[in-house]
């Protein structure tokens, strides 16, 4: 199943969902996919079309591929302008992914602050070639996404740069409009920003992840290349803290991301 087929399953059969092993990230399912699946089930629970403004995700435990997953959504409050929902992915009776979402309708406001211009980034044609999927080396789920590095070093390269990033797109989906679910996968496709600082392989994973979305989303294809840039702001005692931005190819801000990551090195 490709990404869009799994999203459809999250909307239509949330009580009985299985993620195939092609979406594995180590022993777990790809975190960006898990967040996207919970988001899709949350969106289906809305009584109107108010867009998502923020998602706060905690990866409580690893969701195993090829094992049944249940998606559960609770509406915490539905106000005149904002609906707050709590979404859970449950496997073997345990919560594995927890997402709190704020969906807010637009309103007339005297405050308008445009996003700062994107920091100039290397053109796609001058970025490094697509990172190949190498069985046993790169995560299995990477067969579904394409990355082209242009900032910082590759994981375990001993880089001294606090920044990392480049170009990213979905690989195996039919063309359609890019949605919030696609943005979640594109942002989380990148490894923890501290991994390039290491000189030998070590495990690292996201503990908490907050993403804010610029609404309304610019109209673009789900197959479009986007640009990701992350800055490691602090790391100590096995935890790293990073802030990132995702832009469209023409420099429009799409999403802001903050992550706390665990590092086992």
Tens digits of residue pLDDT in 24-70: 998 899 999 999 999 999 999 999 999 999 999 999 999 999 999 99
* Nearest by Cα to 13 from 34, 36, 41: 41
DSSP 69: B
DSSP 81: S
Mark whether 83 and 19 lie in a shared domain.
yes
Domain span holding position 11:
1-104
**Which CATH number goes with the domain that contains 133?**
3.10.129.10
Mark whether 145 and 64 lie in a shared domain.
no
Domain boundary at 50, 70, 104, which? 104
Q: What whole-number distance in Å separates Cα of residue 217 and Cα of residue 55?
A: 15
Mark whether 149 and 215 lie in a shared domain.
yes
pLDDT for the residue 196 = 95
pLDDT for the residue 133 = 83
pLDDT for the residue 204 = 87
Domain boundary at 104, 136, 159, which? 104
Domain boundary at 72, 104, 136, which? 104
Cβ atoms 147, 168 nearer than 8 A: yes
Mark whether 164 and 247 lie in a shared domain.
yes
Mark whether 260 and 131 lie in a shared domain.
yes
pLDDT tens by residue, 187-223: 999 999 999 999 998 888 899 999 999 999 999 999 9
Q: Is 116 part of any domain?
A: no
Mark whether 3 and 89 lie in a shared domain.
yes
Mark whether 96 and 135 lie in a shared domain.
no
Q: What is the mean pLDDT of residues 125-136?
A: 90
The number of distinct structural domains making up the chain is 2
Mark whether 142 and 247 lie in a shared domain.
yes
Q: Is 110 part of any domain?
A: no
């Amino acid at each position: 199943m490709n990404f869009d087929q799994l999203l459809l399953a999250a909307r239509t059969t949330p009580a009985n969902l299985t993620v195939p092993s092609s979406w594995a990230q180590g022993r777990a399912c790809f975190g960006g996919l898990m967040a996207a699946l919970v988001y899709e089930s949350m969106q289906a629970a809305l009584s109107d079309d108010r867009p998502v403004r923020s998602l706060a995700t905690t990866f409580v435990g690893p969701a195993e591929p090829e094992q049944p997953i249940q998606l559960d959504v609770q509406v915490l409050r539905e106000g005149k302008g904002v609906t707050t929902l709590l979404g859970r992915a449950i496997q073997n009776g345990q919560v594995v992914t927890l997402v709190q979402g704020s969906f807010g309708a637009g309103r007339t406001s005297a405050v308008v602050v445009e996003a700062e211009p994107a920091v100039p980034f290397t053109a796609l044609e001058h970025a490094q070639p697509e990172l190949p999927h190498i069985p046993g080396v790169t995560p299995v789920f990477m067969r579904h996404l394409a990355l082209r590095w242009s900032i910082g070093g590759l994981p375990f390269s001993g880089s001294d740069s606090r920044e990392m990033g480049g170009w990213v797109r979905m690989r195996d989906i039919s063309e359609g409009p890019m949605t919030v679910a696609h943005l979640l996968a594109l942002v989380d496709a990148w490894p923890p920003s501290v991994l390039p600082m290491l000189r030998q392989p070590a495990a690292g994973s996201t503990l908490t992840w907050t993403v804010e979305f610029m609404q309304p989303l610019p109209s673009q294809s789900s197959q479009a290349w986007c640009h990701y840039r992350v800055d490691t702001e602090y790391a100590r005692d096995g935890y790293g803290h990073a802030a990132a931005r995702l832009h469209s190819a023409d420099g429009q801000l799409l999403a802001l991301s903050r992550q706390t990551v665990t590092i086992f090195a």
